[in-house]
Amino acid sequence: MKIRSSIVREIQTGGVAELHKYLQSAIELEHATIPVYQTALYSIKPGTNREAAAIIASVAREEMLHLNIAANVLNALGGAPVIDKPGFIPVFPGPLPMGIGDLRVSLQKLTRGHVYDTFMAIEQPEQSLDLPVSEPRLAPLAALRAPAVPPAPTAEPEYATIGQFYEAIIGKLEELGAPLFTRPLSPQVVDNTWFPPSQLFPVDGVESAVAALTVIIDQGEGTKLSPLESPHGGPVAHYYRFAEIVYARRLVRDASHPNQFSYSGAPVPLDPAGIWNLVADAKSVDYAEGSQARRISDRFNYSYTSLLKALHETFNGRPDNLSKALALMYEQKLLGGDLAATRIDGTDLQAAPTFEYATQPM
Amino acid sequence: MSFLHRVRLAFQGTFQADVSTVNNDVRHYDNATFQPSYQELQAPGHVENGWWNPTGSGAFRLLDCRVTGVWYADGTSTTDPAVDPIIGALVGGSSDRTSGKLVDVDPQWQLASELWGLDVRLIESAAADWFGGRYRPNSFRDLWFSRNVNAGGDRAASATFQSVLEGVSFGPDAAARSRALRELQAATAEQRLSIRLATFGYQDDVHQPGFTVGTLVGAIGPYLAGEPTSFVLGRRFTPASGFTSWAGMTWFTGALDEGSRTLFLDLSNALQITDSAGTPVDVGTIVVGALKNAALRENTPVSPDTFESFAVIPYQDPRWLQASGGVFAAELTEVQVAIARNSPLALVVGSEVNPGAVGMGPNIVGIRESDDGLLVGAEPVISRVDGGGSASVTVYASRYGIPLADTAIQIGQTGPSPQQGGGSPQNPNPPPAPIPDIGVPMDKVELPRQVTTDRTGAAALTIKTQDPKHPRGYLDGQLYLVDYRLPGQGNQARSAFDYAVIHVRDQFDVPADPTWSDVQPIFIQYGNLYPIMSKRLVNLADPADVKAHAKLLHFAFTRDISDPSYMPVTRDLSEGKRRTIIKWLEKLIATGDPGVAAMQAVAAGPVRAPAPPARPAAPAPAPSAEPPEGSKSRFARGLGRLSGKEKQS
């Protein structure tokens, strides 16, 4: 994903106010990807397309970790994450927070094209590695994505990646140093039930903040030399994990290739029979008043808004509320599955969540 | 005084009860004979499968419920938001945790469904509440199946949920801005509020719009210290036989507040209706008053000599039920209070009654207060006990609304009852498992023959239990129904399903080192009964999937029972089994259970689950001309075999 380079410059030339502002944006960005990935997940019929479902779910889960980390850093800087507000949710279809206009993100059922165009674009590293694809009919897709010869450096690059955005924040934290960390009353949210201490730990100073933000960069993009999150190994970074769906194979070590990896592992099949034909970028107004789709959609949005509220409380001094948020995530999963299994009256399309803020309380 | 109080608010709207129905047939609890078809929707030709909502989640939600009116301590009221800003405000559930849950205690007792984990908030805006509290879990009462005269099955049924909101907190300026809330806050005790919901017009046909949704009218008033939380110890009206009087009226309760000389009647669940919205059946004018001749029975004419008329009930006014929340209040004269104090109350039905001058002719007792004004009630309705433990129930008695002190209440078990909680006899392919008897062995429950009330009319009833030792085979524990009545009281004095219901669980010792084989039968049973869980979240029958979700399961099994995300949703697991599951999950999380790793290899075959059917678009052609009978009505029909008591009209 391409972020306006002016943002990176603003962080680099700014101070603590800019850090607060863009850590809030980071929280919004990390959240913004979740509806995109979840919609694809809901489109998968239970018990089918297990490999693809597991990949998408694993990435969505780590986006939640990234949100948690960004909020922890903001709290450590004396800021207060704002999660419970209508503008927190992006407009779909539309750009992601801080994104420049060439990536229009859409809520769609799972298809190879959607993963290729959107999921991989969101997670695009600064420099993606050229890794061979063993499925011959899918290899041309990879060729389209082959890293272009980088343009001659100009005074002003047009855009930055998410990784560069976090690097800019890290740079500013290191520059301004310890006085930034005002040790606010807001406690850190560190529940190691769900994420290990190597990924989720308290942020109380420059060192821990840098380490925490580096987790985000590495999980999303991998390292510059490896598609893995760490040069020492670990899971495949998000961009390459999604590529496994597109190229229909797991990414495995492959000594025959200079970059040491290729998409030649176990199959990652995509079975269209196991995917509901979800309506794209649905809005509540698309579902007739009183229809089953509308009713479930309203409940979904209420549950989703409740989740944002629970998360807001969690990251504003009440870490114990994470358990409420967790339960709401699973309620949302059930309601999302209900929606996907619901035919829209008079069509051959299935209903999809609209991810709208429920301004009308229930 | 509860919600039957001068200070109160009324609200109306709809509710969703997304109950799961695979567990409606007790035979589905038998793992050995369970078929995948039991997780499918019922089909034409009385093929019951998993009944009418096999993928229900158990969720209970208040939907679009809004305040319709408020009443003040001086007897005045308003429906104008300019006068009281809470008029029109939403009454909703939680905003930051999952929805409440509606569950049966047991497949062999489906007539006291309980609400758990429900928050109730009076909502000012997305950011602010007028007040909020937690609904104390309890079951519905006064269930009847013939309220909507134009519907059948559960769609015709109606019931009330009365409880208290606990830990109530009012918004910072609620009292300053709303007179109703100011007076409510001043009148109520123990940070509680009394709440009563009446639920009817439920749609249990998946092919109809509004599936799993019904109509709700509600009332909220102050809770006063010492009063029961789930019923009103007041003036109990009882039909002469069956579920309804000749005028189509069922059990309901009133209260006489002598201080304000106000007579209250809770008619939210009392009168028949013609549609799911609650339009009343017009039986003619209904007058409330007192029988000066206490021997006068239902369905007999009254005269000015035998009946003192108090007030006309405006139930025929358009949307009276919705506007009032079903609460009728009339201010009486001193003379009327004196009569009402010691005389049975009655609703008299007539076509042309002049208030205060009831004539001889067509004015007939539509329903009357119980004999001698006696009321006996118990709470909680449902007790869950591990074998060897005991349940504490409080039994209350009153006469004409005054607590009966130092009075004996008889206690007894209903004894063995066969065939509870099966399916339709017309099902061409019924589940083969036998239906166990409930109520046996009787010696596992120890009851006093009677309890005696204290000064406040309350008596503590301690029910001691022993390990029932698997009397039901494939189903945990045993269900016992405890009857309570004043000496000489007949069956009609209490609503048909009023029992203290005790679920006694089999003793289960936590193994020192639990393994998959210890938890497998429990997990498989839940996986069978709750397909939404097993198909969408965790396949509890698959050790690999259980292992992958071990932390999530640990989270769910360690919630407090009042938490809406507590697992199992039915809250029927014995503590021994629950601790075994937790202990095993902790072992699995810490070390990985080698037994599971072995099972995993077996389970990881290329299983391709069939895709679930799409929910049909509405309107869709109904596959059968006959709408489903409905779970509660079907269960109640079976209950006719329990004792000699008439259970259904």
Domain of A67, CATH number, reads 1.20.1260.10
CB hemisphere CA count around B35 (13 angstroms): 13
Chain A nearest-CA residue for B590 = A193
**Size (chain B), residues:** 649
Closest by CA position to B120, among listed B167, B187, B174: B167
* A248 and A104 in a common domain: yes
ipTM above 0.90, yes or no: no
Q: How far is B513 from chain A (nearest CA, A)?
A: 23
Instruction: Please answer whether residues A61 and A177 qualify as being in contact, where contact means their C-beta atoms are separated by less than 8 angstroms.
Output: no
State which H helix or E strand residue B120 sits in: strand B119-123
* A175 and A79 in a common domain: yes
Sheet holding B478-485, edge to edge: B382-386, B500-505, B478-485, B408-413, B450-452
Residue A355 lies inside a defined structural domain of this protein: no
Instruction: Please answer whether residues B223 and B190 qualify as being in contact, where contact means their C-beta atoms are separated by less than 8 angstroms.
Output: yes
Which is higher by pLDDT, A157 or B508? B508
Residue A31 lies inside a defined structural domain of this protein: yes
Buried b (16+ CB within 10 A) or exposed e, B30-67: bbeebeeebbbbbeeebbbbbbbbbbbbbbbbbbbbbb
Contact at CB, B95 and A350, closer than 8 angstroms:
no
Q: Any CB–CB contact under 8 A between A266 and chain B?
A: no
* A234 and A167 in a common domain: yes
Instruction: Report d(CA B327, CA A335) in Å as an integer.
Output: 36
Residue A348 lies inside a defined structural domain of this protein: no
Q: Which residues of B touch A337 (CB under 8 A)?
A: 536
Per-residue pLDDT tens for B20-41? 999 999 999 999 999 999 999 9
Closest by CA position to B433, among listed B421, B417, B441: B421
* A192 and A117 in a common domain: yes
- Locate the DSSP E strands across A151-258: 159-160, 228-230, 233-236, 249-253
**End-of-domain residue from the set A274, A295, A318:** A274
Within 10 angstroms of residue B377's Cβ, the number of other Cβ atoms is: 24
Chain B nearest-CA residue for A336 = B536
Instruction: Please answer whether residues B246 and B376 qualify as being in contact, where contact means their C-beta atoms are separated by less than 8 angstroms.
Output: no
Q: Any CB–CB contact under 8 A between A9 and chain B?
A: no
Per-residue pLDDT tens for A76-105? 999 999 999 889 999 999 999 998 767 899
Residue A126 lies inside a defined structural domain of this protein: yes
Q: Which residues of B touch A306 (CB under 8 A)?
A: 94-98
B70 pLDDT higher than 70: yes
Which is higher by pLDDT, A125 or B221? B221
Residue A240 lies inside a defined structural domain of this protein: yes
Instruction: Please answer whether residues B21 and B631 qualify as being in contact, where contact means their C-beta atoms are separated by less than 8 angstroms.
Output: yes
Q: Which amino acid is at B274?
A: T
Per-residue pLDDT tens for B176-195? 999 999 999 999 999 999 99
DSSP structural state of residue A92: S
Which is higher by pLDDT, A144 or B559? B559
Pairing of strands B382-386, B500-505: parallel
Per-residue pLDDT tens for B106-129? 999 999 999 999 999 999 987 899
Which is higher by pLDDT, B627 or A176? A176
* A137 and A40 in a common domain: yes
- pLDDT (0 to 100) of residue B646: 35
Per-residue pLDDT tens for B461-499? 999 999 999 999 999 999 999 999 999 898 899 998 999
Contact at CB, B614 and A341, closer than 8 angstroms:
yes
Q: Which amino acid is at A343?
A: R
Q: What is the mean pLDDT of residues A126-155?
A: 74
Q: How far is A309 from chain B (nearest CA, A)?
A: 6
B621 pLDDT higher than 60: no
Long-range contacts of A53-57 (CB under 8 A, 24+ apart): A55/A241, A55/A242, A55/A244, A55/A245, A55/A268, A56/A110, A56/A119, A56/A242, A56/A245
Chain B nearest-CA residue for A357 = B126
Percent of chain B with pLDDT over 70: 91
The conformational region for residue A60 under phi > 0 = left, psi -120 to 50 = alpha, else beta, is alpha
Phi, psi of B145 (to 5 degrees): -115, 10
Q: How far is A175 from chain B (nearest CA, A)?
A: 39
* A294 and A235 in a common domain: no
Q: How far is B572 from chain A (nearest CA, A)?
A: 20
Instruction: Report d(CA B583, CA B550) in Å as an integer.
Output: 11
Contact at CB, B537 and A330, closer than 8 angstroms:
yes
State which H helix or E strand residue A53 sits in: helix A50-76
* A319 and A185 in a common domain: no
* pTM of the entire predicted model: 0.91
* A172 and A304 in a common domain: no
* A207 and A156 in a common domain: yes
Two tokens at B231? 């019923």
B173: CB partners within 8 A, 6+ apart? none
Within 10 angstroms of residue B294's Cβ, the number of other Cβ atoms is: 15
* A181 and A238 in a common domain: yes
- Could you write out the DSSP letters of every residue in A228-253? EEETTEEEEPHHHHHHHHHTTEEEEE
The CA dihedral of B115, B117, B123, B129, to the nearest 10 degrees, is 140
Instruction: Report d(CA B98, CA B403) in Å as an integer.
Output: 39
Instruction: Report d(CA A42, CA A352) in Å as an integer.
Output: 8
Q: What is the mean pLDDT of chain A?
A: 91
**End-of-domain residue from the set A221, A249, A274:** A274
- pLDDT (0 to 100) of residue B569: 93
Handedness of CA B271, B275, B279, B281 (dihedral sign): negative
Closest by CA position to A150, among listed A140, A161, A135: A161
- Reduced to 3 states (helix: H, G, I; strand: E, B; else coil), residue B445 is strand
Residue A75 lies inside a defined structural domain of this protein: yes
**End-of-domain residue from the set A236, A253, A274:** A274
Closest by CA position to B197, among listed B125, B113, B128, B256: B113
Contact at CB, A333 and B537, closer than 8 angstroms:
yes
Residue A219 lies inside a defined structural domain of this protein: yes
Q: Which residues of A touch B209 (CB under 8 A)?
A: 290-292
β partners of residue B369: B237
Contacts A–B by Cβ distance under 8 A:
116
Percent of chain B with pLDDT over 90: 85
Percent of chain A with pLDDT over 70: 94
B642 pLDDT higher than 50: no
β partners of residue B375: B398
- pLDDT (0 to 100) of residue A156: 61
Instruction: Report d(CA B65, CA B92) in Å as an integer.
Output: 7
The conformational region for residue B2 under phi > 0 = left, psi -120 to 50 = alpha, else beta, is left
Residue A305 lies inside a defined structural domain of this protein: yes
Closest by CA position to B23, among listed B428, B593, B530, B632: B530
Domain of A323 in residue numbering reads as 284-340
* A270 and A148 in a common domain: yes
Q: How far is B534 from chain A (nearest CA, A)?
A: 10
Q: What is the mean pLDDT of chain B?
A: 91
Q: What is the mean pLDDT of residues B433-448?
A: 97
- Pick A327's closest partner by Cβ from B565, B608, B610: B565
Q: Which amino acid is at B470?
A: H
Within 10 angstroms of residue A320's Cβ, the number of other Cβ atoms is: 11
In chain A, how many domains are there? 2
Instruction: Please answer whether residues A251 and A266 qualify as being in contact, where contact means their C-beta atoms are separated by less than 8 angstroms.
Output: no
**Alpha-carbon separation of residue B300 from B244, B246, B359 (angstroms):** 16, 11, 13
* A307 and A215 in a common domain: no
Q: How far is A235 from chain B (nearest CA, A)?
A: 17
Contact at CB, A46 and B536, closer than 8 angstroms:
yes
Contact at CB, A326 and B555, closer than 8 angstroms:
yes
